[in-house]
Amino acid sequence: MHYGNGRGTVFAAALGLALAGLGGNSALAQDKELVISTWGYNGDLLQEHLYKPFEEQHGVKIVLETGNNADRLNKIRIRGGVDLVYLADSFVQTGIEQGLFAPVDRSRIPNIAELHEVAQAPHGEEYGPAYTIGRFGIIYDTAATDTPVTSWQDLWREEFKGRVTVPNISTTAGPLMVLVAADKEGVSAFEDPDGAFRALEELQGNILTTYSRSSELANLFAQGEVVIAAAQDFVFSNIKQSVPTAAWAELDEGAFANLNTINLVKGGNNPELAMEFINWHLNADVQKALAVAKVDAPVNAKVELTPEEAAPWTYGEEVVQSLNKPDYAALNANLEDWTERWNEMFRQ
């Protein structure tokens, strides 16, 4: 996507000024490579607003290694050779447990102070900040029911029998469904997984299928096969294009926060330059440009968006503060057991 009405020119100028203010070590960076492990989507927009301006200012070549969370984390564990890694919450916790990350020097990343508090140190001061935030909640077709969806427990409503989908346990958000089910049963998913899976078994009758990719979810809505889903909010705009009556549910219990973070990889060749890059990605001008380009939600609290620009995103202090933050250390400790139970239940 490209900006219209000259907006791209305005942002290019703003980003240039932001880079000039961040600079200072471009001479040191000449002929260096900064190797970044990240996802492959929105590549052209990230080149335009994130990578290329940094390369030009710092005289450095950015080399990308792309793939999903698990594969990229495994490559780092086996062979290293990466300076920075972008990962979702639960995979960051795995990397910490495997000792794959180097500590960050927060004095070298002053823009962290501008972030929403939840994004500043999601895994502790030693590790990297979040660069974007999303929500895991419920999307539903308002035309399919006369009663608004206002609770996670509405997934269990009889009227939705055979018309529900939830993420598979192997996805980033999938394990959060165990927490949702435990809450419905009134138990702790960590202390009483039997109770959590009793509630999931009750929900199973409503579930048409589980999904592993956002494209699958969007297609299920577009084809009218499902009318309600537990989902991350980044897919909502795609669903609404094909189902104009789709809505994001405001849940009494609150949605879950999904934080994507940037971490230094232990043994990376350019830790100082890598921290400059983190600081650059957190700059308010960069964060705004990426939000307007529909790449990522901003976590820099100084970013101001119009209602139209903010519509796809988890945006604003009130919204951010309302989110539930899962205990990923406890989640990962139980994930193997949960996965076995889940796969047996869904015969996967």
107/195 same-domain check: no
206 near 163, Cβ under 8 Å? yes
49/92 same-domain check: yes
Domain for residue 2, yes or no? no
16/111 same-domain check: yes
106/249 same-domain check: no
Domain for residue 222, yes or no? yes
Q: How far apart are CA 90 and CA 190, in angstroms?
A: 15
Domain for residue 117, yes or no? yes
282 near 109, Cβ under 8 Å? yes
CATH number for 287: 3.40.190.10
Structural domain including 140 reads 135-256+325-346
The pLDDT, as a whole number, for residue 4 is 36
Neighbours of 5 (CB within 10 A): 7
The pLDDT, as a whole number, for residue 3 is 32
The pLDDT, as a whole number, for residue 20 is 45
Long-range (24+ apart) CB contacts under 8 A made by 50-54 are 50/280, 50/281, 50/286, 50/290, 53/15, 53/16, 53/19, 54/19, 54/277, 54/280
Taking the chain (348 residues) in consecutive chunks of 10 residues, what is each chunk's mean pLDDT?
A: 38 47 46 91 94 96 95 96 95 95 98 97 97 97 98 98 96 95 97 98 97 94 98 92 96 95 97 98 98 95 96 92 93 95 89
Classified as helix, coil or strand, 296 is coil
Domain for residue 1, yes or no? no
Q: Which two tokens stand for residue 289?
A: 């440009």
- Look at the chain and report how many structural domains it folds into: 2
152/39 same-domain check: no
54 near 46, Cβ under 8 Å? no
Q: Which two tokens stand for residue 91?
A: 């995979």
287 near 303, Cβ under 8 Å? yes
70/25 same-domain check: yes
Q: Which two tokens stand for residue 202?
A: 């009750």
Q: Which residues contact 262 (CB under 8 A, 6 or more apart)?
A: 84, 85, 86, 128, 129, 131, 278, 281
The pLDDT, as a whole number, for residue 143 is 98
283/235 same-domain check: no
203/267 same-domain check: no
